[in-house]
Amino acid sequence: MPLRLRTIVAGAVLAALTCAAPASARIIEVGSAPPEATPTCPSSPCLAVSRTTGYQAKVVDSRDHYVIPANGRIVAFSIRLGAPNKRQISFFEDNFGKSSAGLAVIRRGERLFGRVVAASPIFQLSDYFGQTVQFPLDRALKVEKGNIIGLAVPSWAPALSTLTDDGSSWRASRALTSCDDTDRQTAQTTVGALTQYRCLYRARLTYTATLITDPKPNKPAKKTTVGG
């Protein structure tokens, strides 16, 4: 093949690959929203999420940050942890056990009902206090557009900001009459679990999830008719 022709063919292949790029899967950090929320611990009071499943309903004036934007799979989740001191850790462990959390994917319904449609394992957190730690998932979680990612905390997790007045809020899987009862176990950790997320708190949960969207196939080539 002549050199000039090889150059043209190579250029055409490169152009084809470039054009195909938009059809590739995307990597999206669901829940990433400026400004980044900061856990309170070790400040006083040291606030923590306890014995519930929660999801960030709103960040400032947006309700979209924690909503899955496209079908795909969650391959990891990250949680920014405060650094509670020994006295604070002792208090929480005496009351709630060892710090732990996992990811819950929730399909929301009417009247604030939510069903867990996918869930990660529960991870131990105490070795990572003071860090933003990312947990890769051995088995990716299949998700659909419109699902929302939540944080399941069967014990406690120092992953909560101070109270905010910027419009940010999160919901917990607690009954409306039990919003102040943080000792009762209400964590939704089982796929299929259905409950109401009635309690709304003006604060930020400090977690995100890594989504790889489903790739889109190429469109079928149009058939052309050659006249005789």
Mean pLDDT by 10 residues, the chain (228 residues): 43 41 81 92 96 97 95 98 98 98 97 97 98 97 98 98 93 96 95 96 98 89 67
Tokens representing residue 103 in the block? 């990811």
Structural domains in the chain (count):
1
Note the pLDDT of residue 11: 45
Residue 7 maps to a domain:
no
54, 41, 65, 20: CA torsion to nearest 10: -120
Specify the 3-state DSSP secondary structure of 186: coil
Note the pLDDT of residue 226: 65
Distances (CA, A) of 109 to 106, 186, 194, 226: 9, 18, 10, 54
Residue 203 maps to a domain:
yes
Q: How far is the C-alpha of 109 from the C-alpha of 127, rounded, in Å?
A: 36
Amino acid occupying residue 216: K
Note the pLDDT of residue 25: 85
Task: Let me know how long the chain is.
Answer: 228
Note the pLDDT of residue 10: 42
Residue 225 maps to a domain:
no
Domain of residue 54 covers: 24-213
Number of H helices and E strands in the chain, helices first, is 2, 12
Residue 190 maps to a domain:
yes
Residue 10 maps to a domain:
no
